[in-house]
Amino acid sequence: MENQEECVEKVYPMPRIGDVAPDFEAVTTKGKMKMSEFAKDKWVVMFSHPADFTPVCTTEMSGFAVRKPEFDALNTELLGLSIDSIHSHLGWVQNVRENTGVYFDFPIIADIDMNVSKLYGMLQPNESETAAVRAVFFIDPEKKIRLIMYYPLNVGRNMDEILRSLDALQTSDKHKVAMPLDWQRGDKVIVPAPSTLEALDERLVDDSVEKTTWYLAKKSI
Ligand code: BEZ
């Protein structure tokens, strides 16, 4: 018979969209931080990578570094994480800087005790028991989780999609609209569908929006 302990499935909590970002304290490449006090009045894009000194992770982290000015323009702080020591992080940052000239100029959490990885559902034991999956958490200035991405160890993320998602969330908030399939900045946006018969009648005669039908209408912003 199998050892009782081996049969117990490891289940860690998964944060959900709409939750307040779980609070934690951590050591990063830029010093100590506490999530609830990090990047006040800004958005945070927090992302995990499986391991330092690995090829896919190096391309991804370089992508975040190279495109950091675009995150800055969207009032957003970057925050990396992996289950590696601070010395490993420093060695990797320096190694990539020496080899490619790209500098990871944002904090990277050394989650050596896996505390944050477990708190944020980044440790998915059927994928890896020791390395975080490739997660991305979009956290708004009120510290609410607004969008979550999880990628496996063997597939790198898409930086255009990460930036597009962030822009879409912020544009949706600002204009109280929704974003259609493949929305890109400059495209028309979806106005909320009417929720009363009176509003439906108003929509039918509203020529200021581009209507496909009464519940699907777009406008430029
Ligand atoms: C990589 O970044 O290349 C990698 C890391 C962990 C597992 C598989 C690939």
Q: Is the per-residue pLDDT at 2 higher than 80?
A: no
Question: Domain coordinates of the chain in residue numbers?
Answer: 4-159, 176-221
Name the residue of 47, 56, 64, 83 to mutate for ligand 1: max ligand atoms within 8 A of Cβ: 56
Instruction: For ligand 1, say whether the CB of 153 is within 6 Å of any of its atoms.
Output: yes
> Does residue 70 surpass a pLDDT of 80?
yes
Instruction: Write down how long the chain is.
Output: 221
| In the predicted structure, residue 107 carries a pLDDT above the cut 60 | yes
21, 35, 39, 57: which one is catalytic?
Answer: 57
Q: What is the Å distance from ligand 1's center to 31 Cα?
A: 26
Pick the CATH number of 176-221 from 3.40.50.1820, 3.40.640.10, 1.20.120.10, 3.30.1020.10: 3.30.1020.10
Euclidean distance between CA atoms 221 and 219, whole angstroms: 7
pTM (2 decimals)?
0.95
- Are 164 and 147 in contact by the 8 Å Cβ rule? The answer is no
Ligand 1 contact via 56 beta carbon (within 6 Å): yes
Model pLDDT for residues 131-185, shown as the tens digit of each residue: 999 999 999 999 999 999 999 999 999 999 999 999 999 999 999 999 999 999 9
**Cα(19) to centroid(ligand 1), Å:** 29
Structural contact between residues 136 and 148, judged by C-beta atoms closer than 8 angstroms: yes
Q: Determine whether the shortest distance from the Cβ of 102 to ligand 1 is under 6 A.
A: no
pLDDT at 130 exceeding the cut of 60: yes
Question: Phi then psi for 27, rounded to 5 degrees?
Answer: -100, 130
List the beta bridge partners of residue 27. 32
CA distance linking residue 106 with residue 64, whole number of Å: 9
pLDDT exceeds cutoff 50 at 79: yes
The mean of the pLDDT values for the chain is 96
Q: Does domain 4-159 have CATH number 3.40.640.10?
A: no
- Per DSSP, helices labelled H in the chain are 4-7, 55-66, 68-73, 86-100, 115-119, 159-175, 197-204
Common-topology check for domains 4-159 and 176-221: no
Catalytic annotation present for 57:
yes
Q: For residue 59, which atom of ligand 1 is closest to its CA?
A: 2
Task: List residues bridging with 109 in a β-sheet.
Answer: 28, 81
Per-residue pLDDT at 134: 98
51 CB within 6 A, ligand 1? yes
